[in-house]
């Protein structure tokens, strides 16, 4: 594990190198470190990528391109395959140790926590070596001479490791999905020709519950039907044609964690709005309405200042559980720059963080798919996503509360039997991205990857049944 130790770089040491660490106080200065964190990537993945870079550098044969020597390339691929697998096995053992420490309540002492300070909770074992073998067969990672194991390679290996665990250790009972970029393209709708629909119907036929946890916050069921009509119509048709024998257990959690709608085959738009007081978690009942509106008031004030200071062509949109800025009417296709949107998120986050209601009520401040920040328990998380969207919003709660609400609605499903599929997992705070607090997760980068992920889940399930 010598390479592992050398490859591990703590956030603090990174901050020292970048001049963001105040040696006189031992603290990282907030404005600078916040912007530094915006550029960081998932620390566990980056750490594993650093480990795999060592055998790539030592054993790749880029000069073999000039020679007719297939034996050299075969030997290179065999050696790299063996070394990569060994490293993934070592990391798997570290995660097993971390899980053992979790059970004793001493996870802060695990070696993995020492090497990757941001690592969070593992709900299941991760079969990393076997997952690498699975992905190497498909992506030919070991055969590459010029491109080392990439961020995406490792992201997909982690996804496979999670799916292998879910199909072996316990039957998966609940799958939750993000909307944009996960089920359909950003800003689009789930139309009837989307291939993910058949995969979700297959899950329902197997008795798996489905939750869609989305930032879209509507109080009208018809608005959700507009976004998800392809799936809802397909479920209705499956019931009519006896492909589903009973009403499937499907819910939508909108506004991150604020509106719950249940599939109802006899309701208009196939959705029935469920009053909040009937499904809220006990912790959410402690959120006083006065504090919620006070937080939104503070957020609105901060956003108005951003509009004024940066002379944005935007206007305020206030909802009962959210507030944001959207392009002003009549601006056409004119967009606010990404940097302006990020500035608005950072300013609003900082204002809320030091406010009285911001210390009482969990919230999420985000810019479409570009940047997302949450505050929970006094600790800030900053997320960077692919560019997109042209607005900034502050929501009450976040997706961890949304997933937890789905679990409770379906009778108290454990995090180890829940899979959340989403595209926004780049994290740079002390904790992992918020959905990881509630359950196992799979990180996808497009709707096509969601389809491939569900096919892989089915493949592993079938292989497990055949044993």
- DSSP class of residue 352 equals H
To the nearest 10 degrees (0 to 180), the angle between helices 128-139 and 151-168 is 130
Which candidate, 144, 9, 17, places its Cα nearest to that of 76? Answer: 144
What are the helix (H) ranges across 332-441?
338-353, 356-360, 399-409
Between strands 392-396 and 363-367, the pairing is antiparallel
Question: 457 and 435 in contact (C-beta within 8 Å)?
Answer: no
CA 68 distance to own-chain centroid: 45
Cα separation of 450 and 195, whole Å? 10
3-class secondary-structure state, position 40: coil
Ranges of beta strands (E only) in 379-454 are 379-384, 392-396, 418-422, 440-443
By the 10 Å C-beta count (0-12 exposed, 13-18 middle, 19+ buried), 265 is classed as middle
- DSSP class of residue 35 equals H
Pull the structure tokens for residue 175: 């799958």
What contacts 24+ positions apart, CB below 8 Å, involve 349-356?
349/373, 349/375, 349/380, 349/382, 350/30, 351/298, 351/299, 351/301, 351/302, 352/295, 352/298, 352/299, 352/302, 352/394, 353/380, 355/295, 355/298, 356/294
Question: 84 and 132 in contact (C-beta within 8 Å)?
Answer: yes
* Residue numbers annotated as active site: 178, 180
């Amino acid at each position: 594990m010598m390479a592992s130790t050398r490859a591990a770089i703590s956030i603090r040491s990174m901050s020292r190198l970048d001049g963001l660490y105040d040696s006189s106080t031992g603290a990282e200065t907030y404005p600078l470190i916040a912007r530094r964190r915006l550029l960081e990537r998932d620390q566990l993945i980056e750490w594993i990528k650093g480990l795999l870079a060592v055998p790539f550098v030592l054993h790749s044969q880029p000069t073999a391109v000039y020679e007719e020597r297939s034996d050299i390339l075969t030997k290179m691929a065999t050696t790299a395959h063996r070394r990569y697998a060994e490293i993934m096995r070592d990391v798997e053992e570290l995660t097993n140790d971390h899980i053992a420490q979790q059970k004793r309540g001493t996870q802060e002492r695990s070696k993995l926590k020492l090497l990757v300070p941001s690592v969070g909770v593992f709900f299941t074992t991760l079969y990393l070596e076997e997952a690498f073998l699975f992905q190497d067969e498909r992506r030919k990672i070991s055969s590459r001479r010029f491109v080392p194991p990439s961020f995406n390679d490792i992201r997909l290996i982690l996804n496979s490791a999670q799916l292998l665990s879910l199909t072996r250790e316990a039957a998966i009972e609940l799958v939750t999905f993000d909307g944009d970029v996960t089920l359909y393209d950003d800003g689009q709708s789930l139309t009837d020709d989307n291939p993910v629909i058949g995969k979700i119907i297959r899950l329902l036929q197997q008795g798996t519950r489905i939750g869609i946890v989305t930032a879209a916050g509507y109080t009208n069921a018809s608005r959700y039907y507009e976004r998800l009509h392809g799936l809802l119509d397909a479920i209705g048709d499956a019931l009519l044609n006896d492909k589903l024998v009973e009403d499937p257990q499907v819910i939508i959690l909108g506004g991150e964690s604020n509106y719950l709608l249940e599939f109802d085959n006899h309701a208009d738009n196939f959705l029935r709005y469920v009053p909040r007081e009937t499904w809220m978690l006990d912790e959410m009942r402690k959120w006083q309405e006065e504090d919620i509106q006070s937080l939104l008031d503070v957020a609105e004030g901060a956003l108005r200042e951003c509009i004024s200071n940066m002379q944005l062509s935007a206007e305020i949109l206030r909802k009962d559980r959210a507030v944001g800025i959207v392009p002003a009417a009549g601006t056409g296709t004119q967009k606010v720059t990404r940097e302006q949107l990020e500035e608005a998120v950072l300013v609003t986050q900082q204002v809320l963080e030091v406010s009285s209601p911001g210390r009482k009520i969990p919230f999420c401040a985000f810019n479409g798919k570009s940047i997302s920040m949450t505050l929970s328990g006094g600790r800030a998380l900053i997320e960077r996503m692919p560019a997109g969207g042209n607005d900034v919003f502050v929501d009450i709660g976040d997706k961890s509360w949304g997933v937890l609400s789905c679990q409770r609605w379906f009778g108290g499903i454990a995090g180890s039997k829940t899979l959340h599929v989403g595209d926004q997992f780049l994290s740079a705070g002390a904790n992992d991205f918020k959905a990881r607090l509630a359950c196992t997760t799979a990180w996808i980068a497009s709707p096509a990857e969601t389809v491939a992920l569900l096919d892989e889940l089915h493949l592993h399930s079938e292989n497990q049944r055949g044993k």
